[in-house]
Structure 1
Amino acid sequence: MPLIIMCGPPSAGKTIRSLELKEYFEGVLKKNVHIVCENDLISASNITKNEVFNDSSKEKSIRGQIKSEATRLVGKEDVVVLDSQNYIKGYRYELYCMTKASKTTQCTILCCAPQETAWKWNLKREKNEQYSEEVFNALYLRFEEPDSRNRWDTPLFVVNPGDDLPLSDVSSALFERKPPPPNQSTQCPPLASANYLYEMDRITQEIVSAILAAQKMNIEGEVKVPGYSQSVVLNAGTRVTSAQLARIRRQFLSYTKLHPGTDLSRIGMLFIQYLNTNLV
């Protein structure tokens, strides 16, 4: 489900715009639409908006719930609308990484309103749904406006009071665009078999043991490792400690576990090459 990130200061019209999007995508394009609403999650937690935004831990908890629900729903066909302030730049980047990992598209809609206008709209709410003046002003000050130059805010649609939503452009951004290709930072590492990990651990430990044994025999320069044509090259007059070798071995294992497609028969040779690179 492609993701629409609603963004804007408090009482700027995000919920009304979210409902417009739902009506369009369901009525015209026959898509299923899921709205993840910040207000609903706050109400379900039996706390008020003012309590949430006056307490950083409570606010972080609500943001976590929003992201978790979006992660559960996001995919390729239906539409997910995130009806929340989403005012933190870093949080929007996290959402971008989430959709990127899900191999789907997203766009950002910024709902703008003059602060005085938004305050009047806020006062028209039910008493228990209003922001206090202190919280309202604080949220305006905290707001980190999206920037179309940031890849995680693009494509960005800015909507002012009285504007029509660019519904066809939003639809094109979601369904006529290729999602950004996932990279290693947004992908779960592939799983390796228990036997693969055991053998990799055994092979690298044998090579480390061979180097330490050679040093005990005062062998300098090239250390021949049984079973391999390549040698581990040690600097003359320099002894490598077991701690150094353990650190390099851990680094090699950490990298290799992320790429377990490597043929086990090549692990020893690759580790020797890695040692020669890192022992210089």
Structure 2
Amino acid sequence: MPLILISGIPCSGKTTRCEELKAFFQGKGKDVIVISEHEQIIRAGFDKNSIYLDSNKEKHVRGLLKSEVLRHLTPTNVVLLDGLNYIKGFRYELYCGSKSNKSTQCTVHAEINRQQAKEFNEDRKNDSERYLGEIFDALVMRYEEPDGRNRWDSPLFLVFPDQELDKEAIFASLFDKAPPPPNKSTENAPLSSTNFLYDLDQITKKIMNSIIEVKRSHPVGKVSIPGYEDLQLDVSRVSIPQLNRLRRQYITYSKLNTPNPSQIAPLFIQYLNVSLT
């Protein structure tokens, strides 16, 4: 279920921390899935320097990473995303994805002195693993550091190369708290009975017809609605298309928050009064 997003500039020790966390969680009896940005780049047929010179290639790789993360989020495993993850917008997208999957998430920021990271990069013997100087500098400049005040970066664990990673605190942040509730707008509507949907449609339609009938007399101020005399509404300032739009909105809202059938009419009038104020 949990997602651990590892972020940092090039050569900051992200993969080392990823392997450390993998061993720790496996020792806790958890299934661990590692999704590596470097491996996705290779599978896409690119190299780590060329993709950062081409925004389309970079977007393609980010899309692959996001797809892999969401595909592997299940209630029984831990997903580790090992990559630069330097764009806060991308981290936010992953947060929304894990939230909709009712998963907990945390961010591990592998921090390092920029000059030290540059030296590590230059000392790499394998050319395929080394960033070109201009690419390295550009990535450092473009890096948007995680901020624990942002909900999509929180909880945030900052660690330098010579520091011990607080793995127990990471474990607690993922397994000792409930995941954030999904946004109301992204939840599926609760199942409603056929009778309720029929009543909802018929009652609101009947009120609409009554309002249209009242409007023909050009009333001023609030008037009673025929058939619902105890309910009043100012219909002088609303057009028929506007009423139809409000009815559709109310029906959608009622499907998400199913009211008692006896409350459909008064709640609809109240909704119209509030919307027309």
2:12–2:117 contact (8 Å) kept in structure 1? yes
Residues 26-50 of structure 1: per-residue CA shift (max 9 Å, x gap): 2x22221100111111111112223
Shift of 1:54: 2.2
Q: What count of residue pairs does the alignment treat as equivalent?
A: 274
1:110–1:159 contact (8 Å) kept in structure 2? yes
Give secondary structure in 1 for the equivalent of 2:253. helix
Give secondary structure in 2 for the equivalent of 1:79. strand
Shift of 1:53: 2.0
1:97–1:186 contact (8 Å) kept in structure 2? no
Provide TM-score, normalisation by structure 1. 0.85
Structure 1 residues 245-264: aligned runs within 5 Å: 245-259=243-257, 261-264=258-261
Residues 86-136 of structure 1: per-residue CA shift (max 9 Å, x gap): 112233233333333333322211112222322333341532333222222
CA RMSD of superposed structures (Å): 2.5
For 1:194 and 1:59, the matched residues in 2 are separated by 47
Shift of 1:76: 4.0
Unaligned runs of 5+ in 1: none
For 1:11 and 1:203, the matched residues in 2 are separated by 65
Shift of 1:184: 3.1
Q: Identity rate of aligned residues, in percent?
A: 41
1:222 maps to 2:223: yes
1:6–1:82 contact (8 Å) kept in structure 2? yes
Identify if the C-alpha distance between structure 1 residues 73 and 186 changes in structure 2 by more than 3 Å, giving closer, same or farther: farther
1:100–1:179 contact (8 Å) kept in structure 2? no
Aligned equivalent of 1:273:
270
Provide TM-score, normalisation by structure 2. 0.86
2:108–2:159 contact (8 Å) kept in structure 1? yes
Aligned equivalent of 2:109:
110
Aligned equivalent of 1:122:
121
Structure 1 residues 178-197: aligned runs within 5 Å: 178-185=177-184, 187-193=186-192, 195=194, 196-197=196-197
Identify if the C-alpha distance between structure 1 residues 171 and 240 changes in structure 2 by more than 3 Å, giving closer, same or farther: closer
For 1:114 and 1:168, the matched residues in 2 are separated by 26
Give secondary structure in 2 for the equivalent of 1:153. coil
1:225–1:232 contact (8 Å) kept in structure 2? no
